[in-house]
């Protein structure tokens, strides 16, 4: 299939996990994809449609260089997927016990990074229009204990998504967000590291999903592909929840 034939995309945080799944899916659909990350991809990409660019999305000079290098190499930019992000570091903390440095680090990557990438990508897109896909979270609307910085940053991502759609729609720019729930990546798996019975804990969490399983990176890639394609050309400023029905029902125990 070639749903993204002749398109050029940047996917941030794409060395592994959801970002890698999105990047490889885009390439399989005909796009040329710049994989941006602070970590080298492991294993290395073998697809000719994927090009790695070392980028810290919280550094404006590196973001500008990433966009410029993409346009110089491929002559255009059609799609930006703002996927780069981190979760908690140094354990779960409340606003009282969370350090200012940890608050700043999470916001610099999870929210400032999306602002910077969008800021410099939009002018490169505006002549032909383009698509921005932000990776938010169900944690933007449902607070997790001990994760105030992450919750607040993801809430900002959702509102930034709407603001970009409103401000730049007249330039042919569409902007949407995907709000995943429990997607089984290395980062998600690490949340069970300190549990005595890891498999039992994972089964318990999976059972809370009406579809009966955790999400997979490919599920996120499938949604991102639709949003990047012309099939979604009337969708903009929306937050698409992707959580296997987890947040659809009442939390009251039955």
pLDDT tens across 84-114, in order?
A: 999 877 778 999 999 999 999 999 999 999 9
pLDDT for residue 43: 78
**Cβ–Cβ < 8 Å for 53, 36:** yes
Q: Which two tokens stand for residue 242?
A: 């992707």
Question: How do beta strands 79-82 and 50-54 pair?
Answer: unpaired
Q: Determine whether 120 is an active site residue.
A: no
Q: Which of 150, 164, 175, 183 is catalytic?
A: 150
**Residues facing 225 on adjacent strands:** none
Find residue 79's DSSP bridge partners.
Answer: 9, 131
Class of domain 8-185+216-242: alpha beta
How many residues make up the chain in this entry? Answer: 254
pLDDT for 199 equals 83
Domain chopping of the chain, boundaries: 8-185+216-242
Rounded to an integer, what distance in angstroms lies between the CA atom of residue 213 and that of residue 128? 40
**What is the model's pLDDT at position 233?**
97
Using 70 as the pLDDT threshold, list the residues of the chain that sit under it: 189, 191, 252-254
Edge-to-edge strand list for the sheet holding 79-82: 50-54, 32-37, 8-12, 79-82, 130-135, 173-180, 239-242
pTM confidence score: 0.94
3-state DSSP of the chain: CCCCCCCEEEEECCCCHHHHHHHHHHHHCCCEEEEEECCCCCCCCCCCCEEEEECCCCCHHHHHHHHHHHHHHHCCCCEEEECCCCCCCCCCCCCCCCCHHHHHHHHHHHHHHHHHHHHHHHHHHCCCCEEEEEECCHHHCCCCCCCHHHHHHHHHHHHHHHHHHHHHHHHCEEEEEEEECCECCHHHHHHHCCCCCHHHHHHHHHHCCCCCCCECHHHHHHHHHHHHCHHHCCCCCCEEEECCCCCCCCCCCC
Q: What is the pLDDT of residue 91?
A: 75
Q: pLDDT tens digit string along 168-188?
A: 999 999 999 999 999 988 777
pLDDT for the residue 175: 98
């Amino acid at each position: 299939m070639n749903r993204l034939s002749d398109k050029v995309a940047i996917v941030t945080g794409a060395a592994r996990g959801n970002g890698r799944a999105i990047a490889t899916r885009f390439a399989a659909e005909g796009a040329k994809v710049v994989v941006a990350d602070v970590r080298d991809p492991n294993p290395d990409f073998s697809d000719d449609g994927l090009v790695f660019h070392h980028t810290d999305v919280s550094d404006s000079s590196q973001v500008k260089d990433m966009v410029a290098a993409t346009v110089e190499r491929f002559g255009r930019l059609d799609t930006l997927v703002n996927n780069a992000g981190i979760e908690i570091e140094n354990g779960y903390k409340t606003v009282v016990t969370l350090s200012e440095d940890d608050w700043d680090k999470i916001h610099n990557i999870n929210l400032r990074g999306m602002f910077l990438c969008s800021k410099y990508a939009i002018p490169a897109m505006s002549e032909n229009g383009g698509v921005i896909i932000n990776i938010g979270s169900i944690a933007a609307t449902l607070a997790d204990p001990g994760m105030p910085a992450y919750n607040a940053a993801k809430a900002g991502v959702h509102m930034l998504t709407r603001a970009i759609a409103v401000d730049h729609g007249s330039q042919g720019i569409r902007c949407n967000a995907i709000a995943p729930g429990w997607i089984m990546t290395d980062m998600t798996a690490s949340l069970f590291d300190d549990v005595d019975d890891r498999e039992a804990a994972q089964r318990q969490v999976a059972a809370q999903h009406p579809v009966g399983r955790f999400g997979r990176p490919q599920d996120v890639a499938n949604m991102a592909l639709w949003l990047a394609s012309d099939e979604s050309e009337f969708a903009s400023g929306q937050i698409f929840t992707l959580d296997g029905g987890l947040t659809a029902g009442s939390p009251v125990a039955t």
